[in-house]
Amino acid sequence: MKRKIIAYNFELTENLNKLPDEFEVEIFDSINPKTDPAFIEALKDAEGIVGLALPVDQQLLERAPKLKIVSNNSTGYNNLLIEEMTKRGVMGTNTPGVLEDTTADAIFGILIASARRIAELDQFVKSGSWKGHLTTAEYAIDVHHKTLGIIGLGKIGSAIAKRAHLGFDMNILYHNRKRNVMAEKNYQAVYCDLDKLLKESDFVCLMTPLTRETENIMGEREFKLMKKSAIFVNGSRGKTVDESALIDALRNKEIHGAALDVYQIEPIKKDNPLLQFPNVVTTPHMGSSTYETELKMAELAVENLLAGLTGKRPKNLINPEVLK
């Protein structure tokens, strides 16, 4: 009997062809893993799971007694209940070191799109509203030589700082769990507390991972500290922001605008007020979504999966204590 693997929302399935013939892969896409009967049945014999954003909680683990590894096809892994996985001897892996530049391109891109009103003015042209020279009603704001505050200056945040400072002569403020000496040296980034960053930045870019400490790190108080002329950019996770507070800040004109790639509920609901603001750029969690980068991530996810199923230590093991 072949050993069973589950692929969940795993787009580039051709990478699964690299698995040895001893494995059988069952593919699931756009299903509810809590209630889908075929998925629940497959869990009974699954030794490995590879895919994107599958909530691996206690219920799933109880339904998968043979599970050895969950290979996340992403850098983030807040969907994995790591402590419970470790108790049960289940490895967790992710795909870091692949998407930093691609995501930085996207997040800096939506920052520019918001400041220069690119999406809004695109519709202005396509709707036939462009009748002559632009008036002050269509004017945007500059990006170059402004101050960018980055909350969470890890690898992606550093890549954004590089684009901002070296490409647009921006001043960089940052708030982080620890100092980023390389960014301070290479991009003249200045470390400061969160309040100072919020008060002095023309653009506030949130790039933290989602943890207990960072959940709702941006709330009513934080938005009130920002300049009325400032733009808020979120490329981290939706739950790092109190969305109702952001909506209020936009509605009350406490900030100039926003550029968002992530949301508390994804896909975003059609009736979410954020979709009604012309000064908010919204993209569908597409930070790493280029074919080249997604292919590299998928290859690494399969590599991690195979290592864990063949008695080797996966390259990107999140919970190494599981092997002790």
Residue 125 has pLDDT above 90, yes or no: yes
pLDDT band at 261 (very low <50, low <70, confident <90, very high): very high
Query: In terms of DSSP H, where are the helices of the chain?
Result: 37-43, 58-63, 82-87, 100-115, 118-126, 155-162, 168, 181-187, 194-200, 220-225, 243-251, 291-309
> Is residue 88 included in any domain, yes or no?
yes
In this predicted model, what pLDDT tens digit does every residue of 11-48 receive, in sequence order? 998 889 889 999 999 999 999 999 999 999 999 999 99
> Is residue 223 included in any domain, yes or no?
yes
Is the domain of 44 the same as that of 106? no
CATH label of the domain that carries residue 51:
3.40.50.720
CB 46 within 8 A of CB 39: no
Is the domain of 214 the same as that of 233? yes
CB 5 within 8 A of CB 28: no
Taking CA atoms, 272 is separated from 57, 243, 247, 279, in Å, by: 28, 10, 9, 15
Is the domain of 210 the same as that of 319? no
Is the domain of 112 the same as that of 30? no
- The arithmetic mean of pLDDT across residues 60-78, rounded, is 96
Catalytic positions, please? 237, 266, 285
Is the domain of 135 the same as that of 122? yes
Domain count along the chain:
2
Is the domain of 130 the same as that of 236? yes
Residue 324 has pLDDT above 90, yes or no: no
Residue 1 has pLDDT above 90, yes or no: no
Is the domain of 307 the same as that of 217? no
CB 262 within 8 A of CB 205: no
Is the domain of 266 the same as that of 129? yes
In this predicted model, what pLDDT tens digit does every residue of 268-318 receive, in sequence order? 999 999 999 999 999 999 999 999 999 999 999 999 999 999 999 999 999
> Is residue 307 included in any domain, yes or no?
yes
Q: Return mean pLDDT, the chain.
A: 97
- The arithmetic mean of pLDDT across residues 163-176, rounded, is 98
Is the domain of 106 the same as that of 238? yes
pLDDT band at 90 (very low <50, low <70, confident <90, very high): very high
Domain span at 50: 3-98+292-323
Is the domain of 260 the same as that of 302? no
The angle, 0 to 180 degrees and rounded to 10, between the axes of the packed helices 118-126 and 100-115 is 60
DSSP 8-state secondary structure symbol assigned to residue 256: S
Is the domain of 152 the same as that of 234? yes
> Is residue 203 included in any domain, yes or no?
yes
pLDDT at 45: 98
Separation of alpha carbons 317 and 246, rounded Å: 36
Task: Supply the pTM of this predicted model.
Answer: 0.90
Is the domain of 139 the same as that of 216? yes
> Is residue 287 included in any domain, yes or no?
no
Separation of alpha carbons 284 and 262, rounded Å: 7
